[in-house]
């Protein structure tokens, strides 16, 4: 289906994008366009004005700081999946980037677009939760930072306000010692029916704790806090794994759709988390 007529402006700076946004309450930002344009074609989203931020130099690139890595919001999935220095410090990122959709989507879709879109089945939310990322949001009044845990607030809803841009994603260093990403893909779309990102920290061979991000399973991606509290001393034993998996999904109301009802989705989630824990654990 062809979208209805819409005005298009390519922003020349973040300040320009914010000025355009504040001038029209129904204007929408366009990054890679791989979520917004399909929604517009289906008439599930509409706007009189598209503000293209996809090529803004201010929003591009990956910066390495002593205590964190800053990723520009319009960095594509493909760039994140093929950056050697980033992979060496945060191997969870290429693990997840490589299983997003297909090469066409990975070459155009951006991490910022994916996070703001907050699709309950998108991959980056689980990864950013497991890496304890912080989101830099910029509006006309200045900049604020939000933890990933406070960023995903519901189905296709993030904490970004209509007059704000997600400008950067900051991931603390040093990253976790051991990581894994396990995803059960929807066979048609490639989105996660259930996926889990596991990040473990070690002191020698002793697991001292970690983080677990889950996507595909509930209204929004979430951190499995109750399960995380049981990661200290994790050795990979079957009994520990069973208890951690049980704790992760104890209070979850699962999504249901034509592909997976709630019970099947929960079973997939349990299996994905069990496998991710087994992938990530360091052999004693
Ligand atoms: C066939 C297909 C398969 C896919 N499979 C997967 C998959 O397996 N896993 C997965 O995770 N994703 C998947 N996607 C989604 C894909 O990753 C999208 O590219 C991504 O979700 C959105 O990024 P974008 O840059 O294209 O955003 P856009 O479509 O341009 O924007 C999405 C939304 O975010 C807003 N926005 C964008 N950037 C910003 C910003 N910096 N600040 C504030 N608001 C902003 C826009 O206004 C819009 O509302 C798939 C998409 C398609 C078409």
The CATH number given to whatever domain includes residue 184 is 3.30.390.50
Q: Do 79 and 168 fall within a single domain?
A: yes
pLDDT band at 199 (very low <50, low <70, confident <90, very high): very high
Range of the domain at 209: 178-280
Average pLDDT over residues 227-253: 97
CA dihedral 110, 253, 195, 175 (to 10 degrees): 70
Distance (angstroms) between ligand 1 centre and the Cα of 166 equals 13
Do 32 and 48 belong together in one domain?
yes
The CATH code of the domain that includes 94 is 3.30.465.10
Q: Is the pLDDT of residue 119 over 70?
A: yes
Which of these, 211, 62, 108, lies nearest to 100 by C-alpha position?
A: 108
Q: Does 138 share its domain with 217? A: no
Question: Cβ neighbours of residue 220 under 8 Å, at least 6 residues apart?
Answer: 118, 120, 125, 152, 153, 154, 155, 157
- Over residues 253-270, mean pLDDT: 96
Task: Give pLDDT tens digits for 52-77.
Answer: 999 999 999 999 999 999 999 999 99
Compute, in angstroms, the gap from residue 189 CA to the centroid of ligand 1: 13
**More confident: 129 or 4:** 129
The tens digit of pLDDT for each residue in 15-55 reads: 999 999 999 999 999 999 999 999 999 989 999 999 999 99
CA-closest candidate to residue 130, choices 88, 162, 177, 66: 177
Residue of 72, 110, 135 with the most ligand 1 atoms within 8 Å of its CB, for mutation: 110
Compute the average pLDDT of residues 253-263: 96
Strand blocks (E) in 101-248: 134-139, 142-147, 152-154, 157-158, 165-172, 178-185, 192-203, 206-215, 222-223
Give the pLDDT mean for 207-235.
98
Angstrom distance (rounded) from CA 66 to CA 204? 23
Q: Is 71 in the pocket of ligand 1 (CB under 6 A)?
A: no
Q: Whose CA is nearest to atom 46 of ligand 1?
A: 29
Q: 94 and 30 share a domain?
A: no
pLDDT confidence of residue 177: 98
**146-163 mean pLDDT:** 96
Residues 195 and 163 in one domain: no
Choice from 47, 50, 116 to test ligand 1 binding pocket (greatest atom count within 8 A of CB): 116
């Amino acid at each position: 289906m062809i979208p209805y007529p819409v005005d298009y402006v390519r922003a020349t700076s973040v300040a320009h994008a914010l000025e355009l946004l504040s001038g029209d309450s129904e204007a929408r930002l366009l990054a890679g366009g791989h979520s917004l344009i399909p929604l517009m074609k289906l008439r599930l989203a509409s706007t009189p004005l598209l503000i293209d931020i996809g090529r803004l130099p201010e929003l591009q690139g990956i910066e390495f700081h002593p205590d964190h890595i800053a990723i520009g919001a319009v960095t594509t999935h493909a760039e994140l999946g093929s950056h050697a220095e980033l992979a060496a410090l945060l191997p969870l990122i290429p693990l997840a980037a490589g299983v997003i959709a297909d090469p066409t989507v990975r070459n155009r879709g951006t991490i910022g677009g994916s996070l703001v879109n907050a699709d309950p089945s998108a991959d980056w939310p689980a990864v950013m939760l497991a890496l304890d990322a912080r989101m830099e949001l910029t509006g006309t009044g200045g900049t604020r930072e939000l933890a990933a845990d406070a960023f995903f607030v519901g189905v296709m809803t993030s904490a970004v306000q209509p007059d704000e841009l997600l400008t950067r994603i900051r991931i603390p260093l040093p990253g976790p010692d051991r990581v894994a990403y396990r995803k059960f893909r929807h066979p048609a779309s490639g989105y996660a029916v259930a996926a889990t990102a596991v990040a473990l920290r070690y002191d020698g061979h002793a697991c001292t704790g970690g983080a677990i991000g889950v996507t595909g399973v509930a209204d929004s991606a979430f951190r499995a806090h109750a399960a995380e509290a049981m990661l200290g001393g994790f050795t990979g034993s079957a009994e520990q794994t069973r208890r951690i998996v049980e704790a992760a999904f104890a209070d979850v109301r699962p999504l249901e759709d034509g592909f997976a009802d709630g019970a099947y989705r929960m079973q997939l989630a349990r299996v994905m988390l069990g496998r991710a824990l087994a992938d990530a654990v360091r052999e004693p």
